[in-house]
Amino acid sequence: MRHLMTPLDLSVEELDELMDIAEDIKADPSKYAHACDGKVLATLFYEPSTRTRLSFEAAMLHLGGKTLGFADAGSSSAAKGESVADTIRVVSCFADIAAMRHFKEGAPMVAAQFSGIPVINAGDGGHQHPTQTLTDLITIRSTKGRLSSMRIGMCGDLKFGRTVHSLIRALLRYENISFVFISPEELKLPDYMIEELNTHGNVSYREVTRLEEALPELDVLYMTRVQRERFFNEEDYVRLKDYYILDSGKMMLAGKDMIVLHPLPRVNEIAVEVDRDPRAKYFEQVQNGMYIRMALILKLLDITV
């Protein structure tokens, strides 16, 4: 039985295979409409979510399966003090596969150890978010035609942003990747991520504070929201939240083929006017997210169509 905790749980070949299946589902959804007949997905969300939870549920429904679960810790037995280990043992009796989001780093890993069914990490604290990474990778591959030889700017909350940490990990395995990390001093990448980058001979990176400086050279700009819920005090959040705002003026500094990604939800960091720019791919990214989750569910349930 396999779980998905970090993007590294899948080999580069498996990632490619998943993306190929997702493309095939997108091209011919009816072929897959009954692939998961009789199967049940549990969504165990201890932390708020719109996209990820609905995307998982939509993925299972479009495969012909069913879903059950909870959308906040308050409405589950966690409110009574039940451990994640016990909850997953119980859920294993009701479902065939589970997606878990938790505010504590490592909680889905604990669940996986006690689970009778495959567990997918749907975001654990400021740590990892592997299915968002699958979504990001397929969007880069489908718009740019490749994942190697890429200059990627990551902008915003690089300290707490788990989508950033997962995407860096995944991209480190491709050839000729260079990163520009754009953040205020207080929201720079955590040391453990810098160490991962340094132990990888294959990659180059630099850290800057000005978005304008990085824009002209990028193939991909990955914008992120300042992660309010992980701040210790509101004043710091208020001071940093509007540090970067990508607008049409700044987009003029970028190349005509640069794409803009964002895991969403957006707050102020991308002005709404940018949505009309053909380089803005964040809503396409959401759509890809459902197809790649369909492919992932099939893989973890060992179903071939």
CB of 105 to ligand NCD, least distance (A): 12
Q: Is 78 in the site for ligand NCD (CB under 6 A)?
A: no
Taking CB under 6 A as the rule, does residue 53 contact ligand NCD?
no
CB within 8 A of 194, min separation 6: which ones? none
Judged by CB, which is closer to ligand NCD: 92, or 132? Answer: 132
**C-alpha torsion sign, points 37, 38, 39, 42:** positive
Tell me if 3 contacts ligand NCD by CB under 6 A.
no
| Structure-block tokens of residue 91 | 């859920």
Residue 270 CB, shortest distance to ligand NCD, in Å, is: 12
51 counts as binding ligand NCD under rule CB under 6 A: yes
Helix (H, G, I), strand (E, B) or coil at 11: coil
Nearest approach in angstroms of CB 51 to ligand NCD is 5
Which residues, numbered 259-278, are part of the site for ligand NCD (CB under 6 A)? 263-265
Does 133 bind ligand NCD (CB under 6 A)? Our answer is no
As measured in angstroms, the least distance from the Cβ of 263 to ligand NCD is 4
The residue among 39 and 169 lying less far from ligand NCD, judged by its C-beta, is: 169
Considering beta carbons, is residue 43 or 132 the nearer one to ligand NCD?
Answer: 132
132 lies in the site for ligand NCD, by CB under 6 A: yes
Shortest Å, Cβ 287 to ligand NCD: 13
Q: How far, in whole angstroms, is CA 274 from its chain's centroid?
A: 22
Cα–Cα distance between 300 and 118 in angstroms, integer? 7
Which stretches does DSSP call E strand in the chain? 40-45, 66-70, 97-102, 119-124, 150-155, 177-182, 203-208, 220-223, 259-261
Can you state the angle between helices 130-144 and 51-62, rounded to 10 degrees?
Answer: 70
Q: Provide the token pair at 152.
A: 């990627």
Which two structure tokens, joined as six digits, stand for 97? 């596969």
Find the binder of ligand NCD among 3, 39, 102, 129 (CB under 6 A). Answer: 129
Q: Which residues bind ligand NCD (CB under 6 A)?
A: 51-52, 123, 129, 132, 162-163, 225, 263-265
